[in-house]
Amino acid sequence: MKVKHLAKNEDGMVMVATLLLLLLITIMGMSSISTSTFEVQISDNEKRYQNDFYAADSGWMQAVLWLENQVAPPSTVNSGSDNIVRNYGNGGADVLNDSFTAGTEDGTINGIPYWYKVVNLPDESMQSVAGYGTDYRRFTYEATCNANSTQEIAVKLTKVYRMGY
């Protein structure tokens, strides 16, 4: 019968166990870094999305100010039947600026460009207004604001004008 002799030198075993543990910790660390980088990218995208949304939400107020400064109902600026009374970027006749190119914006909010347009809603306009004289009419408009060409908000606005004076 043969007897096997086991080596009593186990110094290398501690080194192997330490290296395996170090490899496991390194893999976990690299995985954590990758996950953290991905989470930072997600949060950055969400922040940009929210900032663009807030810019669009604030930008339509400029359409309200523009409409408030009109002393008479604005006429359509385009030759089509789209009833637009103000194009994006205050473009002239048939200049829609709906590609949202740089330099055509109506303004910026925190460095984010925005454009707005105002459309007359003829089916809801020219209504007489209770409590006003017979020469007053209510006009209804839709203001659409686009921020950074990624977010868009549309609101319905009404304004009362005195007609025929």
Q: For position 103, what pLDDT does the model report?
A: 86
- Residue 113 located in a structural domain: yes
pLDDT at position 21, please? 96
Residue 145 sits in which domain range?
A: 11-162
- Across the range 128-148, mean pLDDT stands at 91
Instruction: Please choose, from the candidates 115, 136, 118, the residue with its C-alpha nearest in 3D space to the C-alpha of residue 126.
Output: 136
3-state secondary structure of 2: coil
Percent of residues, the chain, with pLDDT higher than 90: 58
Residue 82 lies in a domain: yes
What is residue 42's predicted lDDT score, i.e. its pLDDT? 95
Does residue 3 form part of some domain? no
Residue 2, domain member (yes or no): no
Query: Is 155 contained in some domain?
Result: yes
Q: What is the DSSP letter of 40?
A: H
- Report the domain count for the chain: 1
Burial environment of residue 88 by CB neighbours within 10 A (0 to 12, 13 to 18, 19 or more): buried
Specify whether the CB–CB gap between 94 and 103 falls below 8 A.
no
**pLDDT tens readout for residues 51-88:** 999 999 998 999 999 999 998 999 888 887 788 999 99
Q: What is the pTM of this model?
A: 0.74
Res 155: pLDDT: 96
In-domain check, residue 148: yes
